[in-house]
Amino acid sequence: METLRLIVGLGNPGSQYALTRHNVGFMAVELLGSQRRAGWRLEGRFESQLAWVQVQGNRVLLCQPHTFMNLSGRAVRKILDYYKIAKNRLLVVVDDADLQLGGIRLREFGSSGGHHGLESIEENISGRDYARVRIGIGRKPGSAEREISNYVLGRFEDSERGLVELVLKRVSLQIERWITDGSAKAMNDFNGVIRLEPPIQQES
Q: Which residues fall within 8 angstroms of residue 50, CB to CB, at 6 or more apart?
A: 40, 41, 42, 43, 61, 62, 63, 64, 79
The catalytically annotated residue of 22, 66, 115, 116 is 22
CB 106 within 8 A of CB 132: yes
22 assigned to active site:
yes
Strand partners, 70: none
Query: Distances in Å between the alpha carbon of 105 and those of 37, 125, 147, 184?
Result: 26, 22, 23, 12
The rounded radius of gyration (Å) of the Cα atoms in the chain is 17
Strand partners, 134: 94, 105
User: Catalytic residue numbers?
Assistant: 22
